Amino acid sequence: MSAKILVVDDEPDLEQLILQKFRKQIRDQVFSFVFAANGVEALERLEEDESIELILTDINMPEMDGLTLLTRIKEKKNPLLRSVIVSAYGDIENIRTAMNRGAFDFVIKPIDLNDLEITVEKSLLDLQTLKEAMSSRDQLMFIRHELSIATDIQLSILPKTFPPFPDRKEFDIYAKMIPAREVGGDLYDFFPIDKHRIGCIIGDVSGKGIPAAMFMAVSKTLLKATALKGIPPDSCLEIVNNILVDESVASMFVTVFYGIFDSRNGSLEYCNGGHNPPFIIAREGAIRQVENRGGVFLGAVKNLEYESNILTLQPGETLFLYTDGVTEAMNPDDDMFEEQRTQESLQRHAGLGIEQLVENLFVDVQAFAAGREQSDDITCLALRYFGKK
């Protein structure tokens, strides 16, 4: 598509000079020209044709001069319109006024047509650069809008109502996730399997961004759907692993800890698929790590065998699940938060409710990071057993 140029000048010979000078560009449909004899006609042309991109205008014209025209053009607030002023040699005051009113460049009368050609090409090149920048900005805004929707969708599939089982006095659960980007690859879930048993899942998908978020959604859906059958955790992970291997793209996998908590006696049957082993926090603050039993991460190799284990929470004890975004959080000196600081934070806050326990750990991690940008999703899930009520 040719660039359309409006020439505004009351000299009748200029139109023929322009058409002769740019005849090749006109023939090749690089340029096309529209002409007006003064500012009033120029505004009419602009109203009639919104495709005009560049205006070459004289200053001294009847009815409406070039400086007034520039002011009227500026009022339109159209960033995709360039103006080049044409003025007599030595008329520096008017040239300065024109530039202050929005002219992009100027040429001197008598017009050097070669110089005019260079000025036109430079003006149009700058305009093209601006168009590309605005297009990139619009695309970025669209992507951000889409990511915002994706964030809402992802968060909507995670439990977010706490306490989740207000009528159950034997236990309580609290969880929180802060993604490193608009969407994340961490997951957590908890759901009743039957009257007494609650399934608890936490996971971490390899990679970042949209691919990880999509794989997270698939993994979470498969895990919950399989777990709701009430089968043991090792069988659940074996089934989900085989499905993920068949359906997932190469190089993507997910680490998963899945446990079935029995509210009647505090027992937890669990299987760890390559995830960070959770902690058990005693009422007085003592911490021990859960025995790491299970297998490797899910989605890489088919027909793997996993192993379940059983532990028992005592009244007042808390099962604390987390992703490596906690321990691998870094400060400006490239030091990591690590397990030791995690345990120290949990010990300091062990006497608090589980919501405050989790929230304070996030505060400690952020204080340690000291403003450094978060590089990985951070997710925690805490389950506290109170005993029979």
Alpha carbons 294 and 385: distance in angstroms, whole number: 23
Could you tell me if 376 and 164 are in contact, meaning their C-beta atoms sit under 8 angstroms apart?
Answer: no
Average pLDDT over residues 124-152: 74
pLDDT tens figures, 215-232: 888 899 999 999 999 999
Where does the pLDDT of residue 154 fall: very low under 50, low under 70, confident under 90, or very high at 90 and above? low
Where does the pLDDT of residue 386 fall: very low under 50, low under 70, confident under 90, or very high at 90 and above? very high
Pairing relationship of beta strands 267-273 and 309-312 according to DSSP bridges: antiparallel
For residue 16, what pLDDT is reported? Answer: 87
Evaluate if pTM is beyond 0.85. Answer: no
Structure tokens at 271: 């299987």
Could you tell me if 254 and 206 are in contact, meaning their C-beta atoms sit under 8 angstroms apart?
Answer: yes
Q: Is pLDDT at 89 greater than 80 in this prediction?
A: no
Alpha carbons 47 and 347: distance in angstroms, whole number: 72
Sign, CA dihedral 273-277-279-280, equals positive
Alpha carbons 303 and 241: distance in angstroms, whole number: 8
For residue 250, what pLDDT is reported? Answer: 61
Q: Is pLDDT at 331 greater than 80 in this prediction?
A: yes
Where does the pLDDT of residue 145 fall: very low under 50, low under 70, confident under 90, or very high at 90 and above? low
Average pLDDT over residues 19-45: 89
Q: Give all domains of the chain, ordered by start, each with its CATH number.
A: 3-136 (3.40.50.2300), 157-385 (3.60.40.10)
Average pLDDT over residues 307-312: 97
Give the residue from 380, 311, 293 showing the smallest Cα distance to 342. Answer: 380
Structure tokens at 152: 């809402």
Q: Is pLDDT at 152 greater than 80 in this prediction?
A: no
Where does the pLDDT of residue 210 fall: very low under 50, low under 70, confident under 90, or very high at 90 and above? confident
Residues across the chain = 389
Per residue, the 3-state secondary structure of the chain, as one string, reads CCEEEEEECCCHHHHHHHHHHCHHHHHCCCEEEEEECCHHHHHHHHHHCCCEEEEEEECCCCCCCHHHHHHHHHHCCCCCCEEEEEEECCCHHHHHHHHHCCCCEEEEECCCHHHHHHHHHHHHHHHHHHHHHHHHHHHHHHHHHHHHHHHHHHHHCCCCCCCCCCCCCCEEEEEEEECCCCCCCEEEEEEECCCCEEEEEEEEECCCHHHHHHHHHHHHHHHHHHHCCCCCHHHHHHHHHHHHHHHCCCCCCEEEEEEEEECCCCEEEEEEEECCCCEEECCCCCEEECCCCEECCECCCCCCCCCCEEEECCCCCEEEEECHHHHCCECCCCCECHHHHHHHHHHHCCCCCHHHHHHHHHHHHHHHHCCCCCCCCEEEEEEEECCCC
Beta bridge partners of 174: 382
Alpha carbons 33 and 169: distance in angstroms, whole number: 81
Structure tokens at 135: 């297009």
Where does the pLDDT of residue 49 fall: very low under 50, low under 70, confident under 90, or very high at 90 and above? confident
